[in-house]
Amino acid sequence: MESKTIGVIGLGLMGASLCKALGACGHTILGRDTDEHVQKYALLTETIKGELTEEKIPECDYLFLAVYPGAAVEALEKMASLIRKDTIVCDLCGVKQAVCEPCFTLAQQYGFTFIGGHPMAGKQFSGIKYADGNLYQGATMILVPRQQEDLFLVSRLSDLLRGAGFRSVTVTTPEKHDEMIAFTSQLAHVVSNAYIKSPTAAEHLAFSAGSYRDLTRVAKLNEDMWTELFLDNAEHLGFELDCLIRSLQEYRDAIAADDAKTLKRLLKEGRERKEAIDTEWKDK
């Protein structure tokens, strides 16, 4: 692919990692962050080639919004009039309805293309110092184009992202994305964060193995970001939490009643459900 000029707003873990990955492909990377120290660090470490100023926005062939959902919409509102009509804009936010609906409107109003995006990759650490050009290697990128979007433009963005290391690209709608991500990501973060609050956690040393590590890995989250994501997807996340609470209550009731038969049934159902899902995905 020929060299392009790519602008990235937000130079945290996700944005800076994308800068490194695309920069390694020979593209010219311009970046901007609200934190002056992060901006200087990005330039010093050559994570970006230069600062993404207002004057540089019209030079960009692609623009990525690697900030929180509300900030992504706000940033696009401020620079919409400066974006070339052949530029593709993509966000990296963890929810899509709250971002795509206003951004689709802005794109239609000003004549450029906006495609929602969510990389299925990350770390339990945040910030530019943890940025990794290999973060997206083998990962899936979810793209959310506007209805009846030109498939050539979706393909163009997909090709660019594959160059950054993404193994596959999944195309969906904002509604379906948020429904799925409430279960696969957001619920797991709530459960992990709540699980570690047990008073027993302070005494777990020498009594824990893989199960503890697996379940608590994402408890070390960024509370500012995840609060916004959870509230932006409250309906879907609320549904998943209600399902989990009902299931947990069944286990709790069986244990309290010393009901081995019911408990065994519940455990068997969970095991069989996991096996069936694993087999289904293996066959695809």
Provide the pLDDT for residue 206: 74
Indicate if 155 and 183 belong to the same structural domain.
no
Same domain, 209 and 148: no
Percent of the chain with pLDDT over 70: 99
Residues 89 and 225 in one domain: no
Residues 5-30 have a mean pLDDT of: 97
Q: What is the mean pLDDT of residues 240-260?
A: 98
Q: How far is CA 65 from CA 89, 179, 232, in A?
A: 8, 22, 17
Q: How much is the pLDDT for 2? A: 87
Q: Is 33 in contact with 11 (CB distance < 8 Å)?
A: yes
Based on the domain organization, do 82 and 189 belong to the same domain?
Answer: no
Q: What six digits make up the tokens of 220?
A: 């070390």
Both 207 and 69 in one domain: the answer is: no
Mind listing the pLDDT tens digit for each residue in 32-80? 999 999 999 999 999 999 999 999 999 999 999 999 999 999 999 999 9
Which of 144, 171, 198 terminates a domain? The answer is: 171
Give yes or no for a contact between 154 and 115, defined as CB atoms under 8 angstroms apart: yes
The predicted model gives 195-217 an average pLDDT of: 88
For residues 251-274, give the mean pLDDT: 98
DSSP three-state, residue 65: strand
Residues 262-281 have a mean pLDDT of 95
Is the alpha carbon torsion for 264, 266, 267, 272 positive or negative?
positive
Arithmetic mean of pLDDT over the chain: 95
- pLDDT at 284 exceeding the cut of 70: no
Quote the pLDDT of residue 281. 80
Tokens describing residue 50: 């230069």
96: pLDDT strictly greater than 90: yes
Mean pLDDT calculated for residue range 207-233 = 92
Residue ending a domain, among 171, 192, 208, is: 171
Give the tens place of pLDDT for each residue, 101-150: 999 999 999 999 999 999 999 877 789 999 999 999 999 999 999 998 99
For the ranges 89-93, 138-142, 146-150, 224-228, the lowest mean pLDDT is seen at 146-150
Residue 11, domain CATH: 3.40.50.720
Whether residues 92 and 220 share a domain: the answer is: no
Total residues belonging to the chain = 284
What are the two backbone dihedrals, phi and then psi, of residue 49, each rounded to the nearest 5 degrees? Answer: -85, -35
> Do 93 and 121 fall within a single domain?
yes
Q: Which residues of 102-120 are buried (b: 16+ CB within 10 A; e: fewer)?
A: bbbebbeebebbbbbbbbb
Long-range pairs of 138-142 with CB within 8 A, sequence gap ≥ 24: 138/165, 138/167, 139/165, 139/166, 139/167, 140/166, 140/167, 140/168, 140/169, 140/170, 141/117, 141/166, 141/168, 141/169, 141/170, 142/117, 142/118, 142/169, 142/170, 142/171, 142/172, 142/177
Same-domain check for residues 111 and 237: no
Work out the widest C-alpha separation in the chain, in whole angstroms: 70
- In what helix (H) or strand (E) does residue 278 lie, and over which residues does it extend? helix 260-283
Can you give the CATH number for the domain in which 270 is found? 1.10.3660.10
145-179 pLDDT, tens digit per residue, is 999 899 999 999 999 999 999 999 999 999 999 99
Q: Which domain holds residue 279?
A: 177-283
For the chain, the domain total comes to 2
Residues 183, 146, single domain; the answer is no
Which candidate, 80, 88, 153, 145, places its Cα nearest to that of 110?
80
Is the predicted pLDDT of residue 260 greater than 80, yes or no? yes
- pLDDT confidence of residue 227: 98
pLDDT band at residue 205 using 50, 70 and 90 as cut-offs: confident
Instruction: Say if residue 82's pLDDT is above 80.
Output: yes
> What tokens appear for 189 in the block?
């973060």
Q: Are residues 185 and 167 in the same domain?
A: no
Residue 92 clears pLDDT 70, i.e. is over it: yes
pLDDT score of 1 more than 80: no
CA atoms of 6 and 20, how far apart (whole Å): 12
Cβ neighbors of 174 (< 8 A, separation 6 or more) are: 96, 97, 99, 100, 101, 116, 144
Residues 192 and 121 in one domain: no
Are 122 and 225 found together in one domain?
Answer: no
HSE-CB of 155 using CA atoms within 13 angstroms? 3
